[in-house]
């Protein structure tokens, strides 16, 4: 008799949400959506996330965004990315609720039915519309400081 056993190394984790709106954190210091500033010559995680999502609304999932930023920051060659992505998601990763976009820079993140994401500035009519949308699950971005 044969039994399939799933090992922890074969397990795939995901950060994707579906039909969900990530609201800005309770302790977000801004009340308008700010483009994250670049630090010197190098882009921050927030810069990369903003560029990928803002310029490609509803094109990528949370998993896509998080891995692409990881690949950029770690200079992972395109040919090595499939294996690197499998290794990356073989363990749990922080989701976009921990993104500086929602914690620090005033951006709500909407995930559609397919898990594709888009940004909405906290001061925009679209953000307020998403807040009122009862068809969406609503979650808050994680606080920066412990209460």
Domain spans of the chain, in order of start: 16-33+45-140
Q: pLDDT tens-digit profile of 29-53?
A: 999 999 999 999 899 999 999 999 9
Higher pLDDT, 8 or 44: 44
Cross-sheet strand order for the sheet of 20-23: 117-121, 107-111, 20-23, 137-140
What the block records as the tokens of 34 is 């700010």
CA contacts within 13 A on the Cβ side of 51: 11
The whole-model pTM stands at 0.89
Q: pLDDT tens-digit profile of 106-118?
A: 999 999 999 999 9
Per the CB < 8 A criterion, the answer to whether 67 and 85 are in contact is yes
Query: What's the pLDDT score for residue 145?
Result: 78
CA distance 108 to 17: 13
CA distance 141 to 68: 21
């Amino acid at each position: 008799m044969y039994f399939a056993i799933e090992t922890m190394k074969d397990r795939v984790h995901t950060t994707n949400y579906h039909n969900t709106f990530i609201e800005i954190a309770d302790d977000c210091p801004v009340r308008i959506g700010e483009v994250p500033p670049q630090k010197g010559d190098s882009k921050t995680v927030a810069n990369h996330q903003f560029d990928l999502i803002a310029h490609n609304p509803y094109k990528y999932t949370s998993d896509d965004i998080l891995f692409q930023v990881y690949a950029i920051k770690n200079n992972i060659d395109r040919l090595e990315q499939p294996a690197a992505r499998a290794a990356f998601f073989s363990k749990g990763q922080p989701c976009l609720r921990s993104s500086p976009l929602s914690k620090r820079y005033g951006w709500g993140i909407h995930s559609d039915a397919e898990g594709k994401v888009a940004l909405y500035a906290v001061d925009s009519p679209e953000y307020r519309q998403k807040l009122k949308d009862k068809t969406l699950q609503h979650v808050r971005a994680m606080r920066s400081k412990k209460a």
